[in-house]
Homo-oligomer: A and B are copies of this chain.
Amino acid sequence: MRVTYRGDYALKVVLALALNYGKDVVTIHELAKRIDAPIKFLEQVLLDLKKGGFVESRRGKMGGYRLARPPGNITVGQVIRFIDGPTEPISCVRNGYSSCGDMYKCVFRKVWQDVAKTTSDIIDNVTFEALAFEADSEQEVLVYSI
């Protein structure tokens, strides 16, 4: 798998919203500042995340974004697959076709399937609740270390 800037911003902005879960909405402007992303680019990412059912928005004055679901119900795998596409390292595994009769493909496909599986085992089990918890500790450390 390869994580693009788009995917990276998506993960960061979902985390930013997870850290704000239960509170009021946050504007794109504020989110862009927090995660250090170009505002117009983040706009598009947020629009996609909305289509994917990850975030919801309110327009107009006092508008902004918030998570559409509890952070515990959103995983890194869900977000990155939705934004950056399949995480499998090669197309024959991405498409998941089963028997090819070509030994050159077959022996490597097994390797790539293993990689895909261990990758999924990780990214599908990291929720934004866990990440938000980690980020909170991180922040505390920073505060106390000043």
Q: Mark out the residues of chain A between 103 and 122 whose CB falls within 8 Å of any chain B CB in the assembled complex.
A: 103-104, 106-108, 110-112, 114-115, 118-119, 121-122
Residue numbers in B under 8 Å from A108 (CB-CB): 8, 11-12, 15, 76, 131
CA distance A102 to B34 in the complex (A): 10
Query: A1 on the interface (CB 8 Å rule)?
Result: yes
Query: A70 on the interface (CB 8 Å rule)?
Result: no
Query: A60 on the interface (CB 8 Å rule)?
Result: no
- A residues with a Cβ closer than 8 A to B are 1-3, 8, 11-12, 15-16, 34-36, 76, 89-90, 101-104, 106-108, 110-112, 114-115, 118-119, 121-123, 126, 131, 134-135, 138-139, 142
